[in-house]
Amino acid sequence: MNNSSNKSSQALRAWAEISLAQIAANWRELRRAARGAEVCAVVKANAYGHGAVPVSRALESAGAAWFAVSNAAEGAEVRRAGIRGRILVMGGFVPGEMDAFFEHSLTPAVHSIESLLDLEQRAGTLEHRLPVHIKLDSGMGRLGSREPAAEIAHAAARLRFLEIEGVMSHLASASDFESGQNEEQFDVFEQALEALRAAGVRPAIVHLGSSAPACYGIERAFHQMVRAGLALYGYVPEARGAAPALRVNVSPALDWKARIVEVKQIPAGAPVGYNARWRAPRDSRIAVVAAGYADGVPHTLAGRGRTIAAGRLVPIVGAVSMDVITVDVTECPPLRRGDAVTLIGNEGGARHDAADFAREAGVIPYVILCGIGNRVQRVYV
């Protein structure tokens, strides 16, 4: 990922301004809400588009001791950047990834007895001890072991090089307060945890909660650690049903901007973009903006999305192209080539954040933030 300084932003066509101080403030707010539980900073997927290395460095300086990534390559990148804290690899592993855990002192989540014993064998070959976290499938139906606690404990008793430091799971409907699935998963997880303890597996760290439990105060999910992702970057998972009062005050840390490459006058009835999906309802002024679907602007925003130009919310018109979008700036003060448009952020009295963009595109905020492409340079402010 290319990084840029503030001084060079004038030369950029599209860029994201990221406040590391705001991310650190969000982490401190989540730590307060977690009531003594460790807050593990989820920095997978390039820290949800914010930059895994700069974010991890800022959070370690703020006091973070745990970081979570999806795979061994992400973990190695963070470790090579000088992060000294613990790095949890949550997304499982294939055989070729195992050596990276030992080389970079990563802590893998293990999702089955088979993978646990494969990793033990590799640890024995390397004569290298390693802590691991066992993930249980409490109802997500994705990663995680569904094997009986007695079988997991039997396998654990055979370990010579691996230490089962943690037991974890993941809530499938953490911010859904209508379904009742949270309570079902709590029961399954707690029963399995008790069975493991009775069979001799006594983890030092138990973790189940993510952003939503911290934000809404679901303390049954806290245990010793909470894994914070979306809320770390300033967005509270949208609740369904009668949610408890929010326990946190977090703010977005990223503004996404792009420059106008052309402004043109078109007559009423003139088509704009591929397949003439939009025709000007009146004599109009159109700005062509240097951000398209290759940069992370969802194609579905055609005729539905908005940006901010000259401090006003304006519509995206015509098809979203690979490299540009077109916006109707007829009602705006005069604009010219080189002026910036705000796709995500605040400008003047207007606000348009990743959650707004997501609703317009028919996706979730994670998709917007993680989808901001490599051509959008990151500027740390």
Q: What is the CA radius of gyration of the chain?
A: 24
Distance CA 218, CA 129 (A): 35
Q: Which of 7, 274, 293, 366 is catalytic?
A: 274
Q: Which of 44, 48, 135, 257 is catalytic?
A: 44
Nearest to 43 by CA among 8, 9, 79, 2: 79
Distance CA 336, CA 119 (A): 59
**Catalytic (active site) residue 44:** yes
Q: Are 63 and 39 in contact (CB under 8 A)?
A: no
Q: What is the pLDDT of residue 11?
A: 85
Fold of 254-380: Lyase, Ornithine Decarboxylase; Chain A, domain 1 (2.40.37)
Domain boundaries of the chain, sorted by first residue? 20-233, 254-380
The helix (run of H) or strand (run of E) holding residue 212 is: helix 211-216
One-letter amino acid at 228 equals A
**Catalytic (active site) residue 274:** yes
CATH number (3.50.30.30, 3.40.640.10, 3.40.250.10, 3.20.20.10) of 20-233 reads 3.20.20.10
The helix (run of H) or strand (run of E) holding residue 271 is: strand 271-272
Question: How do the pLDDT tens digits run along the chain, 381 residues long?
Answer: 444 444 457 789 999 999 999 999 999 999 999 999 999 999 999 999 999 999 999 999 999 999 999 999 999 999 999 999 999 999 999 999 999 999 999 999 999 999 999 999 999 999 999 999 999 999 999 999 999 999 999 999 999 999 999 999 999 999 999 888 999 999 999 999 999 999 999 999 999 999 999 999 999 999 999 999 999 999 999 989 888 888 999 999 999 999 999 999 999 999 999 999 899 999 999 999 999 999 999 999 999 999 999 999 999 999 999 999 999 999 999 999 999 999 999 999 999 999 999 999 999 999 999 999 999 999 999
Q: What is the pLDDT of residue 284?
A: 95
Q: What is the pLDDT of residue 9?
A: 72
**Planar angle of CA 64, 68, 70, nearest 5 degrees:** 160
In this structure, the number of other CB atoms found within 10 A of the CB of residue 261 comes to 14
